[in-house]
Chain A
Amino acid sequence: MIVFAALAVLAGALVSLSRQINGRLALSTSAMESSFWNHIVGLAFITAAALLFGGLFAGDPLAAPWWAWLGGPVGVVFIAAGSWLIPRIGAAQTAMLIIAGQMISGVLLDLIMGAPGNPLARITGVALIFAGMYVGQPAKAVASKQT
């Protein structure tokens, strides 16, 4: 159990590691070029791993709805955004705000799709996240640095 917990933490750390490395590439090239390399290198890696472990085409992926195939282009913009942001506002603020955006849009999506959920927990969670964003907002930082 503790091993799996450690692996889950490691998986998160690797997300930030990836963003850090892509951000470094964007510093020399551009955010979009960094996103391109992230995708093509990731593709090569996953293809190699799938060949090694097998089962790439298991199941019935063609039964998936058409919109389920659109993750790629969205990911391109997402990775480019991360690569652009991380040298500008830092890794911690980038991670923090992406998490905030993910959580709040997740609640929104659940509401749209009518997913069952606890309203009190949703309100508390969203309120805490907005409070965190208010505390960390850059307007204060800019003002304090200019005075």
Chain B
Amino acid sequence: MSANVPRLYHFAAAFGAGGLLTLMVLFNGTLAVHGSLFFASWVPHLTGTFAALLLLLILRPKRVSATRPPLWAYLGGVSGGITVMLTSATMNTALALSGTIALGLAGQVLFSLFADMRGLFGLPKRMPSARDYGALALILLGSVILIFFGRSA
């Protein structure tokens, strides 16, 4: 299957989602200051499960397809859980938080480029354009500057 043509509202939504991520990092990070890292990930997963259930009951979104998705498609949360543990392991090394974040961005971008090229896990295949690479390079460069120089410790 081919991917839809991206629209400006898709861009705006993704950018806004990044803002939500900042809030999550602030909330969960503050929880981690007082409790354990496990706790700071366990609580949002617990409250999030109930919040999602509530939203499902209210919105009742239609299932896109009548055929059942493969079982592995339900395992996205495991990958997220492992991320929490890996991050908590590297944060306290010489990498510190800034190094962990910067290398994490590299991992995200590299994997997602590869996933697009191969259409991994049954998602639409798309070859990144020269413009995509240019945009990525600029955004990563800006991010690295903000991560390492934007905050004076």
Within the assembled complex, what's the spacing in Å between the Cα atoms of A53 and B42?
14
**CB closest chain-A residue, reference B136:** A96
Choose among A39, A47, A127 the residue that contacts B48 (Cβ–Cβ < 8 A): A39
Q: Is the Cβ of B44 less than 8 Å from the Cβ of A99?
A: no
Contact residues on A (Cβ < 8 Å of other chain), bracket: 35 or more
Contacts of B7 in A (CB 8 A): 138, 142
- Segment 131-150 of B: residues with Cβ below 8 Å from A: 131-132, 134-143, 145-146, 149-150
Cβ-defined contact, B52 with A35, below 8 A: yes
Q: Distance (Å) between the CB of B84 and the closest chain A CB?
A: 7
Residues of A within 8 A of B (CB): 1, 4-5, 7-47, 49-50, 53, 55-65, 67-78, 80-82, 84-107, 109-110, 115-118, 121-122, 124-129, 131-133, 135-142, 145
- Considering the chains assembled together, what is the distance between the CA atoms of A87 and B6 in angstroms? 10
Contact of B78 among A16, A34, A41 (CB under 8 A): A41
List 8 interface pairs A-B (beta carbons < 8 Å), by A numbering: A12-B108, A24-B73, A43-B45, A58-B36, A69-B31, A76-B52, A88-B10, A96-B132
Binding site for A on B (CB under 8 A): 3-8, 10-11, 13-28, 30-31, 33-36, 38-39, 41-53, 55-56, 59, 61-65, 67-70, 72-87, 89-90, 93-95, 99-100, 103-113, 115-116, 120-124, 126, 128-129, 131-132, 134-143, 145-146, 149-152
B103 near A57: Cβ-Cβ < 8 Å: no
Q: Is A14 a contact partner of B63 (Cβ separation < 8 A)?
A: no
Cβ-defined contact, B135 with A101, below 8 A:
no
Q: Across the A-B interface, give the 6 residue pairs with the lowest CB-CB distance, nearest first.
A: A101-B18, A12-B107, A136-B135, A61-B35, A128-B142, A72-B47
Residues of B within 8 A of A92 (CB): 109, 112-113, 115-116, 128, 132, 136
- Contact between B53 and A75 (Cβ–Cβ < 8 Å)? no
| Alpha-carbon gap, A76 to B18, bound state (A) | 13
- Identify which of B48, B73, B107 contacts A28 (C-beta below 8 A): B73
Nearest chain A CB to B119's CB is how many angstroms away? 10
CA distance A45 to B82 in the complex (A): 9
Residues of the B chain whose Cβ atoms lie less than 8 Å from the Cβ of A73: 47-48, 51
* Chain A min CB distance to B136 (Å): 5
Q: Is the Cβ of A132 less than 8 Å from the Cβ of B84? A: no
Q: Identify which of B14, B24, B64, B143 contacts A71 (C-beta below 8 A).
A: B24
